[in-house]
Amino acid sequence: MLVSPSVEMLGKLVKHQIHNLFFIDEYEADAVLASLSAALENTEYCFSFSKNKYYKKNGCVFFSIYHSGQYCIFLYFLARQVISDFPALRDLADKIYFLNKALNGLDLYYEVVMPKVFNLDHPVGSVMGRADYGENFTFSQLCTVGNNKGVFPEIGENVQMFSGAKILGRCKIGDDVIISANSYIKDENVPSNSLVFGSSPSLVIKPRKG
């Protein structure tokens, strides 16, 4: 993967940003660098499936540390890698999570298990809760996935949430589902290969063509 301007600069940037917002000690700084390589491997795998033109350059997977969407995904993987490599450094993982939230306006906690491949586009104002996410999940701005009475959704593969869409509670969303802008799904199931409009309990569900 091509990292612009460099992996070295990426490490310096993360440490500097954490230090400016929360403070980082020498041991935590070393832990960030130790977890960097594995986090980048996960980032590269995720980006390799993207159809977004900004994620490829000269035929290679491309990561610009100044592309907010790309950096957002990387910080999620980094926080998860830190807590995996250094379980005692929960405070550091929390700092990376809060850094992501501060910079990108996304609430995506490192204990939320996202699929290996997921996509986001302008994720400002989105909250991703502890649902069961299928591969190639995509969301945009102001999206919410959350619980109702402690029950979270189950989301299939290749599900797309457009801006302002919400999935809450005891929901089973099938594969290859498009959830239109501002749709609100609560405690309802959606079959595979569907287009979803409107709000529960009066959802409009149509089959996808093609």
Q: Tens digit of pLDDT for each residue in 27-69?
A: 999 999 999 999 999 999 999 999 999 999 999 999 999 999 9
Q: Which domain does 129 fall in, by range?
A: 118-207
Among residues of the chain, what percentage have pLDDT more than 70?
100
pLDDT for residue 210 is more than 70 = no
pLDDT for residue 104 is more than 90 = yes
Residue 194 lies in a domain: yes
Last residue of some domain: 41, 75, 104? 104
Reading phi first (left if > 0) and then psi (alpha if -120 to 50, else beta), residue 176 is in left
Q: What is the pLDDT of residue 20?
A: 97
Q: What is the mean predicted confidence (pLDDT) over 135-158? A: 98
Residue 110 lies in a domain: no
Q: What is the mean predicted confidence (pLDDT) over 105-130? A: 97
Q: What is the pLDDT of residue 162?
A: 98
Q: How many domains does the chain have?
A: 2
Q: Domain check: are 177 and 132 in the same one?
A: yes
Q: How far apart are CA 89 and CA 5, in angstroms?
A: 28
* Contact yes or no for 112/144 (Cβ under 8 A): no
pLDDT for residue 209 is more than 90 = no
Please provide the average confidence, as pLDDT, over all residues in the chain: 97
Q: What is the mean predicted confidence (pLDDT) over 62-86? A: 97
The enclosing domain of 145 has a CATH number of 2.160.10.10
Helices 26-47, 7-21: crossing angle, 10 deg rounding: 130
